[in-house]
A and B are shown apart, each in its own frame.
Chain A
Amino acid sequence: MNRPITNRLPGLLPKLLPRLLPKLLPRALPGLLPRALPRALPRVLPRLLPRALPRLLLGTAVLLVMGTAGAEELSSLRGHAVTDESDAVLNKQTLAVPGGFEVAWEEQPPMIPHPIEHYSIDLRQNGCLKCHSPATFEANNAPVVADSHFYDRDGNRTEKVAPRRYFCTQCHAPQAGAIPLVENIFQNR
């Protein structure tokens, strides 16, 4: 217990260093490095480089190979980019399902159970609203746009469908008759 601290230092250092170093180094390094490095480098480098260079090159090569290989491996569940036009699934006809689809998860925007190829949503007008607007849904026997679509982000009620909800297909998607790649065990309440 009463030994001088200098005697105990060799035993303490391994324990203290990991705790001290992170605190000291950031403060010491900016002062030390600019002075120490220019002096140390010419002496250290000739000894290190012959041994490190082959490893450095090898490492870079391995990383490069892994990188390109990784890019090739990265793909969708279908095995290729979802926009690949050669995909037969992309060219499948849109399903027309009377009565609509069951939702696949809680609060899913209802999926579109009919083809929409010939309707446009653009600057001029929104073709969906021809049947799904509050003014027309009854005559067309169609589901109406939900009330939530008539509020802007500040909670103010809008006269027409709110601009942020105008592009229906951002959330509502038509479906092709493709076999699901992942099983869904969600049960509608």
Chain B
Amino acid sequence: MSDTTKAKSSRARKATLWVLLVGVAIGIVFWGGFNTAMEATNTEQFCISCHEMEVNVYEEYTDTIHYTNRTGVRATCPDCHVPKDWVHKVVRKVQATRELYHHVKGDIDTPAKFEAERFRLAQNVWSQMKKTDSRECRNCHEFDAMDYTKQENRSSQGHQDAEDAGLTCIDCHKGIAHKLPMQYDPEQDAPGESVFYTRLDAPHADTETPGAQE
């Protein structure tokens, strides 16, 4: 090999190295930026920066055990409403763009407007949780991690029965962090026989709430 080809190849190698380095640096900045931005939207502060969230769902959540309790552990909005793993999180974030549209339109910006839509919105969440086997609950609560002997008799029996029957958290624990809708009838919500997952199969074919069409 001649000197010129040697020099050429060493220059080419240097260039490649530079391109790689710069590429990695840009990648880190962009990826980090993207993730930082996404995490910023994943805070309670961000959630309640919207008026409809603060006066409706946040307000009523502050009365519940997920906000204040004896151990001082708090589950904030994204802990229950945004998946933890990356793929599902991004999917949820993309879906949330629709919420931006309705925010701008002001569809639920008063308690009265929100109340009119509550049943439909609640069923959306219930159906979703039923479909995902209450994935977000299970970030903290798992059958495997439960010590049934430490639970109250009813809970212990209930949890074991539910595990055997293949039920999921939301089958029994509806309305634990927010008020239940007016149309929700506890008598129609026996574990495993609930009628409130109607939106599971046809998420937009709502006929039960008059005037709740999107």
Contacts and interface: CB of A to CB of B under 8 A. Distances in A.
A130 B186 contact: yes
Q: Which of B158, B176, B184, B186 has the most CB of A within 10 A?
A: B186
Interface string B148-174: 000011100110010000000000000
Contacts, number: 50
A124 B153 contact: no
Contacts of A125: 180, 184-186
Interface stretch (B95-103, B104-112, B190-198): B190-198
Dominant SS among interface residues on chain B: loop
Contact of A124 (B180, B187, B188, B191): B180
Nearest to A96: B152
A114 interface: yes
A124 B186 CA distance: 10
Dominant SS among interface residues on chain A: loop
Nearest to B165: A139
B1 interface: no
B105 to A, nearest CB: 27
Given A129-B187, A134-B187, A138-B190, 12 more contacts: A96-B153, A98-B154, A114-B153, A124-B182, A125-B186, A129-B186, A130-B186, A130-B187, A133-B186, A135-B188, A139-B190, A139-B191
Interface of B: 64-65, 152-154, 157-158, 161, 176, 179-182, 184-193
